Structure 1
Amino acid sequence: MINSSDTGPLTGAPEIESSWFASLPLIIQKALQSIPVASHYYVALSGGLDSSLLLQLSNRYLRESREASLIAIHVHHGISQHADQWQSHCEAICHQSGVELVVRKVELKSSKKGVEEAARAARYSVFEQILPSDAVLLQGHHQNDQAETVLLRLMRGAGVKGLAGIPKTRALNSALIHRPFLAVSRSELLSLAEAWGVSWVEDDSNASVDYDRNYIRHEVIPKLESRWESAVSRLAVSSEHCRESAELEEALAKIDLVGITQDVFGPALSIAGLTQLPLSRQRNAVRYWLQHQRLGFPGEKRFQRIWTELLTARADANPLVEWPLGAVRRYRDAIFGLSANDISAQSDCITSNIVVDGWSTSKTDSALSDGLTKRELMIFKQSVMGRQYALRMVDSVNASISDVVTETEEVNIQPVKRLLVKAPADQVQVSIKFRQGGELFKPVGRHHHKPLKKWLHECNVPPWLRDSIPLLYYNESLVAMGDLLVADGFQGGSNSRNLEISWGQKLDHNQL
């Protein structure tokens, strides 16, 4: 029975007055009421105690309070010899409850962090594939899981963000993961499951203390509880305090990064600006910046090298700190973050030449005379070094002088976001190449040809990117360097057809 005048304190969902719900412990009632309102509900079902009980309770609650159905997801890892039996158990309880079950079998990839981490990665990959937008995935993590996680991370030297433990709610792409039982102890769930007659399976690997988490579960926590009553709940409280501190650290990092964050040739931090901060705030800002760029954390020893090697290096040095997810490099007064994909793409570009074909001046003249837009006159568009490199044919009657680089002082060469070059004549081969070494180049407004390396240096292009800057060629003539400089004699005109060059922001770039 639904009472439409009352709503849940956390979700806005209507309360139910059924006797079964009223008979539940208050902490379980609040746990179910905490489930966020969504269009689709899923539950991660392993077949164990916590997920089997969660299936029964959440299915009944959602049907009665929100008239919503629930779909269960079971991931068959194939690790245990009993894996097929666990799947059969999940099928049986879902059939009894009238819940749709989705089963996915996965093959675990080798992981230096072990089987547990590989299995976790496989599960979340399945969740990402299945969950639609505006979905909530329920997981059965409980207070004991939280305590184990805090102790594990404490032994690994984690900071407050790590000691915050398992979040109750977090995003997974455009869906949400929610753990309603996180404040409930396993003993409370066990008592309720037995009272409800819920059946579950036990993972035989849970008994092995060879796994760190199992060692903490069977050896450490019982000793803590024998000495300090409610040790598990106290650890959970500490994790909440750490979560609040982590949120404050993140807020401070965002404040400190304002004004010292750059993005010219990738995400970078001003060293001069960074070193004005106290050391603790420097570390906090860099840690947040790396995680925001999806570079993860390099480990404490590598992280410390940013201060002992990068920030203290000579102005002409280019030190590197690298780890599996990426790297940090220094160039001039900035440190740059590079993902593993960035690093791989640089080497791929060195020998790749791209021919631009399928168009002619006469065709584009006709299209322009028909009034088509620049977007419709796209000549070429392709990702180069994770940035979108594009050539558009432009009717430049209204082109302004700012569209072309015309600085006369060498020290004033600056990157521009848009460059106009004279359109090629028919029969001219247009291609995109990459620096091989020895190329000479004379930009607009300059008196002499100089090696391309010189102009790249003056445009502040970091050395590790110089071989992957797209170079536009007409036949064998170098016409433009990225979207930075145009060669003398090839500048766009105000009464002619031109090519507009753009080499945009990183496709996966995250704004702070």
Structure 2
Amino acid sequence: MDLTPFPDDAPRRLLLGFSGGRDSTALLHRLINATDAPWTNIRAVHVHHGLHDDADAWSRHCRAQADGLGIECVVRRMAVRRAGRGLEDAARQARYAAFAAERREDECLVLAHHRDDQAETLLLALLRGSGERGLSAMRDYTVDARGPIWRPLLATPGAAVADYAAQHELSWIEDPSNRDERLSRNQLRHSVMPLLRRHWPQADAALAASAQRLAEADGLLRAQARRDLATVLGLRDDVVEVSALRALPQERAARALRLWAESRNLRLTGDALRRVLGDWSQQPAGRALEHPLGQTTLRQWGGRLWLTPCEPVEAREAPAGQTWDGRAPLRLGHGGGDADAGTLRLLGARGFDAPLRLVARREAPPRFRAAGDRHARALQTHFAALGVPPWARDTVPLLVDGDGELQALADLAYGDALDAWLRARGARLLWQPADAAG
């Protein structure tokens, strides 16, 4: 039973996803008994889904098998939360979450998918209408948000894995859910694939070869998407410049956006892409637009796109009621709570002559005259001029003096009195929001 070449840049310590089934049992035995292996250590992790009455017995079996081979096997108990997904997908998500939680920084995750699995994955992707990324199916080695993943059996037919397990008289678990044809993959495995093989004996090899060619095409497209993304990112990598994005051909713009979202562990839906590249392109730049994506919101304002977490309004508000003499950094708790909302610092001076007080935006004076301005302007006008998007404005800490006069919009703008005081001392304020405060 041959293995795909071990990647030169993969970590030399392995963590095998060990279900205890035939395929992972055969792979574990093969890895342990490899001669001149480049890896230096092997551990196994078994995911206890709790979906079957025998789940405890399966965990004990896996530990016993690993003990017999002289390796550690960790059992991870994971709750399968469907959250609108099918049972197969929910269980897969739980497994990968368990693998990610268990994998150490110096380990490569190893999975026992073989060529038959690859053929099934491609067919499922076709039936779902997947794009080029999904149609490229599984890779024998990849590094993504889950870390490095090696699939050494991906070029090996399932029959060869079965022969190896029988030849070495291995003992494995038979999960009865693998025969349940109400599950999509099982329907393909037990009903569709046998029919295809009767008419096209090389169906598995042909489908796997197509997946490989699609993976190569996807690699070229992703390389182009990376170049395009570099041209549309703002000064921060979480902001996309809309004018640069729309200067690209629409298909390239869509791929660049997908890659941007993927780099933040998100998936952009077709509806989201249609909004950005279609409906939103007709809207005024000053209008704030948003589209929900689960726990994240895709936003457009001021010629830019953002991906921001969904939070209740009260969790986004800057704190109020605290007084600050500037002698020590001021930790900003959400609404006076314990959650970290960032830090305010006075740099270049020991402290203020008189303390300033934090106020919430709804309690602040409605108008503010910044140093150098002839007239006071509405706070929202200042924020717009400073490039603060509408959804982030309540997070900006506002400082008033003892007379209730607004003296600072964080470190973005100062009133006349505070500006003169800071200039006389060569001092300034520094606001570090929670994601930058450390």
Identity %: 26
Indicate if the aligned counterparts of 1:350 and 1:435 stay in contact, CA closer than 8 A: no
Q: CA offset at residue 187 of structure 1?
A: 0.8
Indicate if the aligned counterparts of 1:128 and 1:173 stay in contact, CA closer than 8 A: no
Indicate if the aligned counterparts of 2:400 and 2:408 stay in contact, CA closer than 8 A: yes
Alignment of 1:99-110 (within 5 A): 99-110=71-82
Measured in 2, the distance between the counterparts of 1:505 and 1:468 equals 10
The answer as to 2:403 corresponding to 1:478 is no
Measured in 2, the distance between the counterparts of 1:164 and 1:189 equals 23
Structure 2 residue corresponding to 1:237, chosen from 209, 215, 238 = 209
- Which structure has the greater CA radius of gyration? 1
Measured in 2, the distance between the counterparts of 1:76 and 1:86 equals 8
Q: CA offset at residue 54 of structure 1?
A: 0.9
The C-alpha deviation readout for 1:382-438, integer Å capped at 9, x for no partner, is 588999743333336xxxxxxxxxxxxxxxxxxxxxxxxx95225x25436334576
The C-alpha deviation readout for 1:151-186, integer Å capped at 9, x for no partner, is 111111111111111222233668522111111111
Corresponding residue number in structure 2 for 1:329? 299
Measured in 1, the distance between the counterparts of 2:289 and 2:204 equals 45
The answer as to 2:413 corresponding to 1:488 is no
Letter in 2 for 1:394: L
**Structure 2 vs 1, CA of residues 176 and 333 (structure 1 numbering), >3 Å: closer, same or farther?**
closer
Alignment of 1:449-488 (within 5 A): 449-475=376-402, 476-488=404-416
Corresponding residue number in structure 2 for 1:307? 277
Which secondary structure state, in structure 2, belongs to the residue aligned with residue 456 of structure 1?
helix
Corresponding residue number in structure 2 for 1:433? 360
Corresponding residue number in structure 2 for 1:203? 175
Measured in 2, the distance between the counterparts of 1:184 and 1:317 equals 55
Corresponding residue number in structure 2 for 1:502? 431
Corresponding residue number in structure 1 for 2:31? 58
Letter in 1 for 2:343: A
The C-alpha deviation readout for 1:82-115, integer Å capped at 9, x for no partner, is 2123223212322322222211222222321122
Q: CA offset at residue 61 of structure 1?
A: 1.8
Corresponding residue number in structure 1 for 2:262? 291
TM-score (norm 1): 0.76
Measured in 2, the distance between the counterparts of 1:160 and 1:192 equals 34
Q: CA offset at residue 345 of structure 1?
A: 6.0
Indicate if the aligned counterparts of 2:298 and 2:306 stay in contact, CA closer than 8 A: yes
Letter in 2 for 1:485: A
The C-alpha deviation readout for 1:434-467, integer Å capped at 9, x for no partner, is 3457621110101111221121122232222222
TM-score (norm 2): 0.88
Which secondary structure state, in structure 2, belongs to the residue aligned with residue 61 of structure 1?
coil
Measured in 2, the distance between the counterparts of 1:208 and 1:498 equals 70
Q: CA offset at residue 133 of structure 1?
A: 1.6
Measured in 2, the distance between the counterparts of 1:46 and 1:356 equals 57
**Structure 2 vs 1, CA of residues 458 and 37 (structure 1 numbering), >3 Å: closer, same or farther?**
closer
Indicate if the aligned counterparts of 2:344 and 2:429 stay in contact, CA closer than 8 A: yes
Corresponding residue number in structure 1 for 2:13? 40
Measured in 1, the distance between the counterparts of 2:206 and 2:28 equals 27
Measured in 1, the distance between the counterparts of 2:103 and 2:289 equals 42
Q: CA offset at residue 229 of structure 1?
A: 2.3
The answer as to 2:219 corresponding to 1:247 is yes
Corresponding residue number in structure 2 for 1:390? 343
Measured in 2, the distance between the counterparts of 1:45 and 1:90 equals 7
Measured in 2, the distance between the counterparts of 1:439 and 1:235 equals 65
Which sections of structure 2, spanning at least 5 residues, go unmatched?
A: none
Alignment of 1:4-23 (within 5 A): none
Measured in 2, the distance between the counterparts of 1:257 and 1:37 equals 27
**Structure 2 vs 1, CA of residues 279 and 183 (structure 1 numbering), >3 Å: closer, same or farther?**
same
The answer as to 2:237 corresponding to 1:270 is no
Corresponding residue number in structure 2 for 1:13? none
Which secondary structure state, in structure 2, belongs to the residue aligned with residue 489 of structure 1?
helix
The answer as to 2:161 corresponding to 1:189 is yes
Measured in 1, the distance between the counterparts of 2:252 and 2:10 equals 38
Q: CA offset at residue 81 of structure 1?
A: 1.7
**Structure 2 vs 1, CA of residues 350 and 213 (structure 1 numbering), >3 Å: closer, same or farther?**
same
Corresponding residue number in structure 2 for 1:370? none
Q: CA offset at residue 191 of structure 1?
A: 1.0
**Structure 2 vs 1, CA of residues 78 and 423 (structure 1 numbering), >3 Å: closer, same or farther?**
same
**Structure 2 vs 1, CA of residues 305 and 66 (structure 1 numbering), >3 Å: closer, same or farther?**
closer
Indicate if the aligned counterparts of 1:435 and 1:468 stay in contact, CA closer than 8 A: no
Aligned residues: 432
Corresponding residue number in structure 2 for 1:445? 372
Indicate if the aligned counterparts of 1:442 and 1:450 stay in contact, CA closer than 8 A: yes
Alignment of 1:297-446 (within 5 A): 297-298=268-269, 300-334=270-304, 336-339=305-308, 341=309, 343-344=310-311, 346-350=313-317, 352-353=319-320, 355=322, 364=327, 379-381=329-331, 389-395=342-348, 423-426=351-354, 428-431=355-358, 433-436=360-363, 439-446=366-373
Measured in 2, the distance between the counterparts of 1:190 and 1:489 equals 80
Indicate if the aligned counterparts of 2:319 and 2:333 stay in contact, CA closer than 8 A: no
Which secondary structure state, in structure 2, belongs to the residue aligned with residue 500 of structure 1?
strand
Measured in 2, the distance between the counterparts of 1:347 and 1:307 equals 32
The C-alpha deviation readout for 1:33-69, integer Å capped at 9, x for no partner, is 558663532211111111000111111227x645834
